[in-house]
Amino acid sequence: MLGLMQSQQLLISSLIEFAERHHGEGEIVSRRVEGDIHRYTYKDMAVRSRKVANALEQMDLAFSDRVATLAWNGYRHLELYFGVSGSGRVLHTLNPRLHPDQIVWIANHAEDQVLCFDMSFLPIVKAVHSRCTTIKHFIALCDADQLPADTGIPGLQSYEAWLGAQSSTYAWPSFDENSASSMCYTSGTTGNPKAALYSHRSTMLHALAGALPDALSMSARDCVLPVVPMFHVNAWGLPYSAAMTGAKLVFPGPAMDGKSIFELIETEKVSFAAGVPTVWQMMLGHMQAGGLRFSTLKRTVIGGSACPPAMITAFNDVYGVEVLHAWGMTEMSPLGTVCTLKNKHLTLDSAEKMKVRLKQGRGVFGVDMKIIDDEGKELPWDGKSYGDLLVKGPWVISEYFKGEGSAPLVNGWFPTGDVATIDPDGYMQITDRSKDVIKSGGEWISSIDVENIAMAHPAVAMAACIGMKHPKWDERPIIAVVKKPGAEVTRDELVAFYDGKTAKWQIPDDVVFVEAIPLGGTGKMQKTKLREMLKDYQLPTV
Ligand code: AMP
């Protein structure tokens, strides 16, 4: 017997309709590429998203055709999020930090029909447009009078002129909730990039789960600053959860430096911010240098790579801001776990609480996790056994776009490529990417643990641990370190800093000081590049 409830499709357009009706006056504030601050409301955004949809109809795009963006976090990008997906097309967020050749490859692979880009990316578009063979329309996200002449880009028009001619009336179509809504290519550290193709259903369920109190806890009383880019996994779903809850949205545009982010948090009274550790590192550096304090920020979600304990301490103990350590992947829309405490943790002393906060957290409802050994046997949730982490759920990938790469699922589970433990309370902790873990004398050393200790040293700005071939132990860890400007520390001082903080055999054999650690397009350390950089390095013979 079937239930007798209405079977309304879960569609992204319902978010914008809901936002307009229930919190139409809610504010959306953007620092623009032009440098100024732009303010409007959810109602304005809904009106302009309908204009986007009408403009796309006039371009004669088919259902599921791809509309690409090369854009920072801002209101025009948000209008495309809703206008493109809501009208049944697929929003393809291109990552402007990739090499132009990669952008060409990805745009052609996705068969993008339209490209909307911020003016800061005009040089990239000039360099790639003739090689993007499927793109028929180029739209610059600017006013008509800012469109430069003679760009050489065929048919280039300004976004404002494109929208200006459109009606603000549009009836959002209804269709199967499993239809594709947006796509994002993975960083592609090996082989060609592969695309995760999200659906309306997966996006809506993810937005609902992301807004829950023990996930990102979003409400109409929040003012949210997504520093995480809208070109990386839909800014962790924050634009959708914000429209669902009525949270005020603040977008940083291209100004991602510590000073600009801090200023925006203060002037807009941000209560909740989200970003990768490298962004917060810059902002904390700016605050420490100027003796600054937050007046409204209460929570920050940090993910994308492991959050060093020193950062959690700085936010919690120095600035009174709660850190929510979170873990996810492009293939998971991206939310997998969030580290919110349970009642039993509230009475722990701060050292014990820190041990919990350092973990990547508990599975958000909807995401199942398990860890397995090399033979595929499931390992216990004892907080000690570590193995390959597998996940499944309604917003986890089933296969890559166009079936690229090997079929990703193992008996219905997606292998994340991360190595993790899970404790009896369900808190998952990543020890490594499976390819980065260091195997020394038959034991595994977590490169993240080694990095976290170095990052706690006051002279260290960034640290990356990699394994080096060793004749006796198979591999031994070394640590590449970028010093803070003006700070000094020697190799021996840093090695001595590990004493008492970890087992002796887990202390790195050497420290290599470098100018910079190579970062990928989403701000993650690229250890393959670092290994290449240090290919002539020899371990000290002691
Ligand atoms: P991406 O798909 O580019 O977002 O990368 C996903 C990968 O980033 C994961 O598989 C992890 O290896 C890593 N990652 C994400 N969040 C965290 C975290 N909080 N701690 C450690 N690694 C993380």
Q: Stretch 271-294: mean pLDDT, rounded?
A: 93
449-502 pLDDT, tens digit per residue, is 899 999 999 999 999 999 998 888 888 999 999 999 999 999 999 999 999 888
305 pocket-lining for ligand 1 (C-beta < 6 Å):
yes
Secondary structure of 418-429 as H, E, C letters = EEEEECCCCEEE
397 C-beta closer than 6 A to ligand 1: no
Catalytic pick from 186, 245, 300, 416?
Answer: 186
Helical (H) or strand (E) element with 497 = helix 491-497
State if residue 237 touches ligand 1 by the CB under 6 angstroms criterion: no
Q: Distance, CA 421 to ligand 1 centroid (Å)?
A: 15
Region 368-385: mean pLDDT is 95
Containing 44, the helix (H) or strand (E) segment is helix 42-58
Indicate which atom in ligand 1 lies nearest the CA of residue 520. 3
| The pLDDT value given to residue 542 | 62
CA distance 328 to 331: 8
**What's the 388 CA to ligand 1 centre distance in angstroms?**
14
On the question of pLDDT at 95 being above 60, the answer is: yes
Q: Could you identify the atom of ligand 1 that is nearest to the CA of residue 331?
A: 2
Ligand 1 within 6 A of 522 CB? Answer: yes
* Active-site hit among 177, 268, 331, 451: 331
Is 522 tagged catalytic?
A: no
pTM: 0.89
Asked whether residue 201 carries a pLDDT value surpassing 90, the answer given is yes
Q: Which residue has the tokens 């919190």?
A: 23
Is 134 an active-site residue? no
How large is the average pLDDT for residues 182-210?
88
Active site residue 111: no
Q: How many residues does the chain have?
A: 542
444 included as an active-site residue: yes
DSSP annotation of 343: G
Distance in angstroms between the alpha carbons of the first and the last residue of the chain: 74
Q: What is the pLDDT of residue 406?
A: 65
- List strand residue ranges (DSSP E) for 94-142, in order: 112-117, 137-140
Could you tell me if 301 and 312 are in contact, meaning their C-beta atoms sit under 8 angstroms apart?
A: no
The residue whose CA has the least distance to atom 7 of ligand 1 is 329
If you measure from the C-alpha of residue 417 to the centroid of ligand 1, how many angstroms do you get, rounded to a whole number? 10
What proportion of the chain, given as a percentage, has pLDDT over 90? 82
Kindly report, residue by residue over 414-462, the tens digit of the pLDDT.
999 999 999 999 999 998 887 788 888 777 788 888 999 999 999 999 9
Q: Is residue 329 within 6 Å of ligand 1 at its C-beta?
A: yes
Tens of pLDDT, residue by residue over 299-323, are: 999 998 889 899 999 999 999 999 9
As a whole number, mean pLDDT of residues 61-66 equals 97
Give the span between the Cα atoms of 418 and 412, in whole angstroms. Answer: 17
Q: State which of 189, 236, 307, 430 you would mutate to test the pocket of ligand 1, scoring each by most atoms of that ligand within 8 A of its C-beta.
A: 430
Q: Does the beta carbon of 330 lie inside 6 Å of ligand 1?
A: yes
Tell me, using a 6 A CB cutoff, whether residue 361 lines ligand 1. Answer: no
**Calpha distance 245→239 (Å, rounded):** 10
Window from 94-103, 186-195, 294-303, 394-403 with minimum mean pLDDT? 186-195
Give the model's pLDDT for residue 540: 87
